[in-house]
Amino acid sequence: MPIRFEVNGKQVTVEVEPRLTLADCLRQQLRLTGTHIGCDHGVCGACTVLVDGDAVRACLMLAVQAEGSKVVTVEGLSNDDGLTPLQKSFRKHHALQCGFCTPGFITTAHALLSEEPDCDADRIRDVLSGNICRCTGYISIVEAVLDARAAYKSNGGKP
């Protein structure tokens, strides 16, 4: 069935089977392969995207359920001028190694900092508890998010 939604600011129309997940639709049909699929059943967080501003697992949502919504993937969070403050902070703190989990952490942390630029380390740990990283040990990721708060705070929730 045909569905229409907005991805990273652009309207798209795609023809999908009902069983196609939003994650597969983004990757296979729209070629937005920044959204990674780790487990495909909701435990790792690698597939996190924003749907109408909320961080959600794209493997636990059908593409047909996105009809009419605004979807933002990790590609939509960067700009052409270089790294965003959150991305810069990940680099500075060595918050990634293989990078497989990183899109999920970036989208999740972006949603959090946009809404709660004053969050503390406990809140960050609680929110990131739904994302699995097999390389870094998390400490550097939490530090990167803590450090990126300033950029969101000074700009009213925008990085």
Partner 1 sequence: MKLPQFEYACPTTLHDAVALLAARAGDAKALAGGQSLMPMMAFRIAQPALLVDLRKLPGLREIKVSGDGVRLGAMVRWRDIEDDARLASAHPLLKAAIAHVAHYQIRNRGTVGGSLAHADPAAELPGIALTCEAEIAVMGKGGARTIKATDFFLGALTTALEADEIITELRLPPWPQERAKSRRWGFQEFARRRGDFAMAGVAAFYDLDNSNKAMNTHIGVIGIGDRPHRLPAVEAMLNGRAIDDASIERVAAATSAAVEPQDDIHASAAYRRALVGTLVERALTSAAA
Ligand X SMILES: Cc1cc2nc3c(=O)[nH]c(=O)nc-3n(C[C@H](O)[C@H](O)[C@H](O)COP(=O)(O)OP(=O)(O)OC[C@H]3O[C@@H](n4cnc5c(N)ncnc54)[C@H](O)[C@@H]3O)c2cc1C
> What is the chain's alpha carbon radius of gyration, rounded to the nearest angstrom?
15
Complex with ligand FES: residue 69 or 108, whichever CB lies closer: 108
Binding characters for ligand FES, 50-69, by CB under 6 A (x = yes): -------x-x----------
Q: Print burial letters for 113-130: b (CB count within 10 Å at least 16), e (below 16).
A: bbeebebeeeebeebbee
The tokens for 73 are 């993937």
Binding status of residue 18 toward ligand FES by CB under 6 A: no
| Residue (45 or 117) nearer to ligand FES, CB | 45
Identify the residue among 4, 18, 120, 121 touching partner 1 (CB under 8 A): 18
Helical axes 121-128 vs 102-115, angle rounded to 10°: 130
Interaction between residue 10 and partner 1 (CB under 8 A): no
Tell me the per-residue interface mask from 97 to 136 with partner 1, x by CB under 8 A, - otherwise: -----------x--xx-------------xxxxxx-----
Q: Which is nearer to partner 1, 1 or 139 (CB)?
A: 1
Nearer to ligand X, 42 or 157 (CB): 42
Distance CA 72, CA 9 (A): 8
- Closest contact distance (angstroms) between CB of 55 and partner 1 is 5
**Which of partner 1, ligand FES, ligand X, none binds 25 (CB below 5-8 Å, type-dependent)?**
none
Least Å distance between CB 136 and partner 1?
16
